[in-house]
Structure 1
């Protein structure tokens, strides 16, 4: 598996450089290139964390991935939709939590969405509610999550609403129950292809949210790497040149 990670990293590093160069040319589809850059950062994160055992460089990759989602919002979604790519899927919010960057997390906690009523949007809003300590808003999102997870592929994420109930009530057992249920359905979920063999995004995000409330979950599962749960911000985070304006306003 380590060798496979290294082989993928070499290709990904080449592609990362190419995508950044292509972004300088207005004739290329910038949105497509940015989405590919996000995937590159997830692949690099997997190699840094699970191949090289470098948690810190891995966190920086999640920081970049979240910033790229913000870049999409500010440059392509803003003014076009009431909702945006940020809320269409909740990955940007999860990447920010995994990065441990406090300014980025705070920035994402203030975005508002009044359009999309989807599982992903409700999950994103529940993360925001936790970060803001807004239990009234969290209760609303838990109700929405319960409704969405009664049908379709969202059924495979039903443990999320359980975990959020535990977070709201500071109940470790309930949090762990929800996370375990999420992990049990990992193979049926739509995890990002480049990291699905190494971690479960939702489970790790919820475990880190729990620790922010002083609750350390105790679950033995390789998809919930314990070394990723502690909250330690980096002294310096490094984005890309195209993200400097976004970084300046964090």
Structure 2
């Protein structure tokens, strides 16, 4: 945040306005240069704008519909990114797909989160193992979830191991439907400073994901922290969602390679 101490809302609005001015023109250039770029990198980079737009919709404009729509688009960009052979960053390197995907309330995005392939999900000390536990919660596969808790209690990192052994980790509390224990855990998580300076001004990432998972499982935790907005916790999908970008629509095809286009034009000129 600048030295002028603008509010978080002013800061967010400034970021969105700057990216809006740049993004449309840049994406048009990127599509034209499709064959010269790592398309997965383009998609991953483009996902930041709808994330910020979603935050602005809710926290500046009080528009929860806009938040869900923009977060849906952000995740659609990540889905497309994941399908590319070359990408700058694997979408599930962090928890963000679960944060923005769950808050979109889109059944399509929920399905993606549930079935996404996590290459390191069997290594108890990796983030992917934790994301896989999120998947098991959404799948309601409680037997498999119990197995992961037992594995953490045996081989997890020191802090995680201690919580799992005591039955005080998030997933154990969830299975016990310990609403008070879950609320206390999430309240403590919400106090942890986010590594994302701008987004962390509005959402406590892990706390929001855990709170949303509780509501997905019918445990309506009540959190007294503005970084875990209660309005976002009920699962209420929009009637419809729009991908917004033509290159995300199923019928879109990439432009032909420059050399192929030139060759085609030469063939046409000869026929004339």
TM-score over 0.5 (shorter chain): yes
- Counterpart CA distance in 1 for 2:213 and 2:237 is 14
Q: Given the alignment, which residue of 36, 40, 44 partners 2:45?
A: 36
**Is residue 2:219 matched to residue 1:215?**
yes
Q: CA deviation at 1:129?
A: 0.2
For these two proteins, the number of residue pairs brought into alignment is: 233
Give 1:9-20 correspondences, 5 Å limit.
9-20=16-27
Which residue of structure 1 aligns with residue 110 of structure 2? 105
With structure 2 as the length reference, what TM-score do the two structures score?
0.75
> Does the C-alpha gap of structure 1 residues 238 and 211 become closer, same or farther in structure 2, counting only changes over 3 Å?
same
Mapped contact 1:62–1:98 kept (Cα < 8 A): yes
Q: CA deviation at 1:71?
A: 1.0
Q: Given the alignment, which residue of 58, 80, 103 partners 1:71?
A: 80
> Does the C-alpha gap of structure 1 residues 150 and 66 become closer, same or farther in structure 2, counting only changes over 3 Å?
farther
**Is residue 2:188 matched to residue 1:181?**
yes
**Larger-gyration structure (1/2):** 2
Q: CA deviation at 1:235?
A: 1.2
Mapped contact 1:42–1:65 kept (Cα < 8 A): yes
- Counterpart CA distance in 1 for 2:26 and 2:157 is 36
Which residue of structure 2 aligns with residue 241 of structure 1? 246
RMSD: 2.8
Q: Given the alignment, which residue of 126, 131, 138 partners 2:145?
A: 138
Unmatched tracts of structure 1, length 5 or more:
79-83
Shift >6 Å, 4+ stretches: none
